Amino acid sequence: MGKSMSRVLVIGGQRSGKSRYAESLVTTSGCAPIYLATATAGDGEMAERIARHRDRRSGGWRTVEEPLDLAGALLREAHSDAVVLVDCLTLWLTNVMAAELPVEAESAKLVAALGKVRGSVVLVSNEVGSGIIPANALARRYADALGTLNQQVAAAVDRVVLIAAGLPLVLKPAPAGEVKL
């Protein structure tokens, strides 16, 4: 990524290697790494996940915890000498829904902020739409909202990388030789 501004979405399934890949993008950029954490430790298992992520990063990272105002945090933290890693949109959306905030409006604020940031940003999100349709209404509403958010963010960023089994597959920009009608 270097000193030029770039916005990247890293997407994939649970335990696909998304966060590790995103962290490597940030650490090889040559810029100051900022970890914008959206998770909250609601139980012991989640606290352990957060600790594992924290332990994996070197001491050079600055961590900013922001479970709800992601757009505001990006506008404050993203500058030309740093790369902000947002980990992750999946948990941020959970927080927005749990707080009963308007999902469409909060998503629109985030996408608008991506167009205004002054530095590089790497966003991590889960792909939840590849499995079966959830059995309950809340889970379906969540999957639909995350699918829509992922599409909106993918349209707003420069690059989209799908991680499958730890391997990066570049989706945007389209690979050379793409079939066009």
Residues known to be catalytic: 53
For 42, counting Cβ atoms within 10 Å of its Cβ (0-12 exposed, 13-18 middle, 19+ buried), the class is exposed
Residue 134 CA to residue 33 CA, distance in Å, equals: 36
Of 35, 18, 28, nearest in space to 77 by CA: 35
Residue 93 CA to residue 107 CA, distance in Å, equals: 8
**Cross-strand bridge partners of residue 116:** none
Which residues, other chains included, contact 9 with Cβ-Cβ below 8 Å and sequence gap of 6+?
123, 125, 150, 153, 154, 157, 159, 160, 161
